[in-house]
Structures are given as C-alpha cells and as structure tokens.
Structure 1
C-alpha cells in the first residue's frame, strides 16, 4: 500500500520508552495475557474524544476492559442488514463470546459529536444533513434524544442535557439486541450509564429510580 508511511518519530520514541519501562517491568503479565487470552469483566462504550481516557479514569490495567469508541458514544438500534456495523459487532462479541458481566456507556462534557447533533437538529448545520455526511447520519441515532430536550430554553442547557441523552438513547438501543436483552433478563449482564465532566474530573451515573444522573 503505497500511501502507508513510517511512524512519526515522537511515536517511535514513546514506544521505545514504554518497551523499556512499563513492558520490561511487567513482561510476565503481558506474556500471560498473550498465552491465556482476554477475560474482561466489563465492556465500555465511550467517545472517540482524545480527552476521555477510560483506563485512566478507572485505574485499569491491560485485559480489564473491552473498549469500543465511536463518535458520541452511541449505540445504534439492532438492525441486521447488508451494511457494516462496527459498534453492533463489538457489542455482540463482548456479550456472546467474552461474556462480560457489565456493559457501560460513558458520555462526557463538551462532546463535539453531541454539539453537532444539536446544531443539525436545530437547522444550524446543513452540511450534516447531507446524505453523504457520515457524521450526520451517525448522529441521526441521537435525534430522539434531541426531541426530549428541545424544550429547554438555553442552548447550553440543551447541549448538556443532550450529552446525557446520548447515554440514555444508547442504553435504550442496547436492549433492542436480543442477545443483550436475554443476558440482562437472565441477570448475566448489567447495563450502566455514566457521564464524565472532563474539566472537573466528575463522574455521574444514571439512577433508574430517580430518572436522573447523580454523582458516583
């Protein structure tokens, strides 16, 4: 493939530093992971945003989490068809092959994808309405959430509420997958909704009893 280039030098330096320190100090553990395979207890669906560092937030080591990242941490409805479904495939593998016992959807503050959805649904981002926009069509998943917060007067309030709706819509859509519903009904899988405040380091969870997000 003629367009593939060598790694930038700063990435090479960082790799060499990791190999000489973190890997060297834990080489037995890495070899065990390689030999025995992965047994993560949880799958986490988070945003692609570079500021959301899932393993750091939870102090996790290699092998603990099965992580899937996409724009705005969204889960689409179950829809088997001829299209390619990366997120759905990751969920299927985590639940049916890895048998994770917890599935977490992690939203966050200042999400660009959520803001794009808000602007698109408000008529402020016509470029996202184009059928050719991958981001726009992906953010269509969140339109039901926008309808639930559209009555809020202040844009900042709508966007913040929509960030949390991205978590709730995803949790709702997860239950449209038969293998997820079966695992939940059999109490083999628990679903969790979280929202992370990047600037303040806060973490909130969705409380099904109150219908609100509360501090962890």
Structure 2
C-alpha cells in the first residue's frame, strides 16, 4: 500500500499525550471495556461535521454511546437490495445485537450537507444532480423534507431543513421492521435533537406539539 503515509507529527504527539495521561489514569477502566465488550444504552446518529462533538455535548464516557456519523445525520429507508448500506448496517447492529434502548438522531446548525440538498433541490447546484455525485445521491434521502419547507421564508429555510433531516431520519427508522417491532414492544425509543453549534443550544422534537423545543 504505497499510498499510505505515517501520521503527521502533531497527531503522534497528541496520541502520546493521551496515552501518558488519560489512558494511564484510567487503565483499568479501558481494560475492563476491552474484556467485557460494549453495552451502550443508546445509539446516536449524528453528522460527520467536525464541529459536532457528541460525547462532549452529553459528557459521555467511552462505552456509553454507539455512534454512527454520516453526512447530514441521515437514515435511508429500509431497502434490503443486497447493496452496501453502512448506516442501515449500523442501525441493525445497534438494535438486534447490542439491544440499545434509545436511538438519538442529532442534527445541527450550519450543516453543509443540508445546504447542499437545499441548493440541489432549488436548482443552484447542478453538479449534485449528476449520477456520479455521492453527496447528491445521499442527499436525495432528504428530498421529502425539502418539499415540506420549500415555501418557508428563505432566511429560515436552511434551519428548517436541518430539522427536517432529523424528522425524515426518524420516519425512515420506522420503516426498518426490527426498529418498528422494538418501538412497538417499548424496548426502544426514538429521539430527535438539533444543536446550535455556535450558541451551544440543544432542542428536542416534541411529538405532542409537533415542533422542536429547547431542552
């Protein structure tokens, strides 16, 4: 594999700093985690945006969350077509093997993937319409959400679509038979959250009021 290279020096230094401090101070805990396997109570599906730090938001330790990240925190509909589906595989593993009690879908402000969907659906990003665009075909998942907010004032449309990315994903989660069954049996609950990166705010979807409210 001649294309692979050694880590840049700053990452090596950070690793050695972690190994000498955090790991050294908690060595028995890490070894227990390694020996006993993982038993997370919740799965978190979040955006792969580098500004969204799930474990920091909730003050979580290693082993607490089963985390899956992708562009715009999307879950596709249940499609058992024999193709490669990373997000669907993660959901299946979390529910059927790990037995998580909660699935949290976490959206966020200023999401680049959501903006791409907005631009694509409004005709401002024709390159995303190309069949060769991985981002474009992934953001097709969010088209139903765009249809719901396309008439919202332009100043608020992006934020509305960011929240739709959460709701579309929750709707799609319920198309998975094993998710629907677990929800019906009350062994699994689904939660929709949206965080404001700049302000540190967190909102959750209230199904009774049909809107996102501050936590």
* Off by >4 Å, runs of 4+ in structure 1: none
Secondary structure, aligned partner of 1:81: coil
Instruction: Give 1:188's aligned residue.
Output: 187
- Equivalent in the alignment of 2:57: 57
Distance 1:119 1:60 in 2: 35
TM-score, normalised relative to structure 1: 0.99
| Structure 2: gaps of 5 or more residues | none
Q: Give distance in 2, aligned partners of 1:145 and 1:31.
A: 44
Structure 2 counterpart SS, 1:4: coil
Q: How far apart, CA to CA, are the structure 2 residues paired with 1:132 and 1:139?
A: 13
Please give the alpha-carbon distance, in whole angstroms, between the structure 2 residues aligned to 1:150 and 1:139: 15
Take 2:11 and 2:23, find their aligned partners in 1: how far apart are those partners?
Answer: 16
Q: In the alignment, does 2:172 pair up with 1:173?
A: yes
Partner of 1:137: 137
Give 3-state SS (helix, strand or coil) of 2:152's partner. coil
> What residue in structure 2 maps to residue 160 of structure 1?
159
Match of 1:94 in 2: 94
1:8-47 to 2 correspondences below 5 Å = 8-47=8-47
Cα deviation for residue 2 of structure 1 reads 1.2
Q: Deviations over 1:90-111 (max 9, x none)?
A: 0000000000000000000000
Give CA-to-partner distance per residue, 1:113-139, whole Å, 9 cap, x none. 000000000000000000000000000
TM-score by length of 2: 0.99
Which ranges in structure 1 are unaligned for 5 or more consecutive residues? none
| Partner-residue secondary structure (3-state), 1:33 | helix
How far off is 1:65 after superposition? 0.2
